[in-house]
Structure 1
Amino acid sequence: MDIDKFKQWMEFAQNYQTGEFWNSVFDPSKAELMNRDLPAKQPKQPFPPVDMFIDESRVILVIELPGFTKEEVHLLVSGNTLTIQGTSSAPFEMQHTMKERYYGEFKRTIQLPEPVESRNVSARFHNGLLFLSYFRVKIQEERVFIE
């Protein structure tokens, strides 16, 4: 055991015995120490963030994936549903002293305005942004005759 960690443990145990434990739990100066080795949690906001733009002829999605490569991201289209999934890993095999970014698997499903086939979707990855676009198919109304 590291001597510094041992000292921290002894201080913690002493505070617990003297009733100072709860005061130190809520001490902002100890927050960094207590969270240092904990993994970053999955963000509460949907990940990855997506912006969708639409006009009469096409739909464009901009998906924010900082630090990812295109090989780490997979896209699936089924009807009017787009699924974005991938995995990221820490860039270094070292111990974290601070960890704010999320590493691990993610999966997000986006509802598209109308059904689309994957062969009609173009995707381009540039500077941590994934751009998807497709042309909208105009379905003409057809009269149904009653027998």
Structure 2
Amino acid sequence: MEIDKLKKWMDAAHSFQSEDFWNNIFDSKQTSAAPFNPQTISDFFPKCDLFEEDNMLILEAEVPGLERDHLNISIQQQVLTIKGEFKSLQTNRKYHIKERANRKFKKELILPYPTVCQQIKTDIKNGILMIFMPINLEEVEDIPITFNSTDPE
């Protein structure tokens, strides 16, 4: 059993050492239309919390320094899409250290319930994007479960 765990750890460690892994992370030309790759940094950004409160879905997403002009939010068939672009590079500056890259991101989240799109509200405060989405209770249906009346004994 311990050898199996060690083998899994070695396989994971090996994937982080591959050149392809690091090229995917730092490849600024990667498009959002590319097939899902679990090793890309955009899959983890922005970090989000989605919770339910008073018949409302509330999403909180970390978007530090992002301006409203560089953000787009849409919902289509219970898929919430957040797209944006961080623009930190200033052409008239002489950088000694440049760790914050210009980058685009796209995050898609499948919502657990349909929402009333016309009543969605958004806010950005202290680098946290908040999206308030009323649950469309009219479209949530419970499906009755029936059991076979003959019990095999």
TM-score, normalised with respect to structure 1: 0.60
Paired position in structure 1 for 2:95: 96
Quick one: distance in 1 between partners of 2:95 and 2:56? 44
1:132 to 2:148 alignment: no
User: More displaced, 65-74 or 109-118?
Assistant: 109-118
Instruction: Point out 4+ residue stretches in structure 1 off by more than 6 angstroms.
Output: none
Paired position in structure 1 for 2:85: 87
Paired position in structure 2 for 1:49: 47
3-state DSSP of counterpart to 1:82: strand
**In 2, are the aligned partners of 1:59 and 1:136 still within 8 Å (CA)?**
yes
Percent identity, please.
23
Q: Which amino acid aligns with 1:110?
A: L
Aligned residues: 104
**In 1, are the aligned partners of 2:116 and 2:134 still within 8 Å (CA)?**
no
3-state DSSP of counterpart to 1:119: helix
The 1:67–1:79 alpha-carbon spacing in structure 2 relative to 1, beyond 3 Å, is same
TM-score, normalised with respect to structure 2: 0.58
Across the aligned residues of Structure 1 and Structure 2, the Cα RMSD in angstroms comes to 2.6
Paired position in structure 2 for 1:65: 63
Quick one: distance in 1 between partners of 2:142 and 2:51? 25
Quick one: distance in 2 between partners of 1:102 and 1:115? 36
3-state DSSP of counterpart to 2:44: coil
Q: Which amino acid aligns with 1:102?
A: A
Relative contact order (C-alpha < 8 Å, sep 6+): which is higher? 1
Instruction: Give 1:69 deviation, angstroms.
Output: 0.9
Paired position in structure 1 for 2:3: none
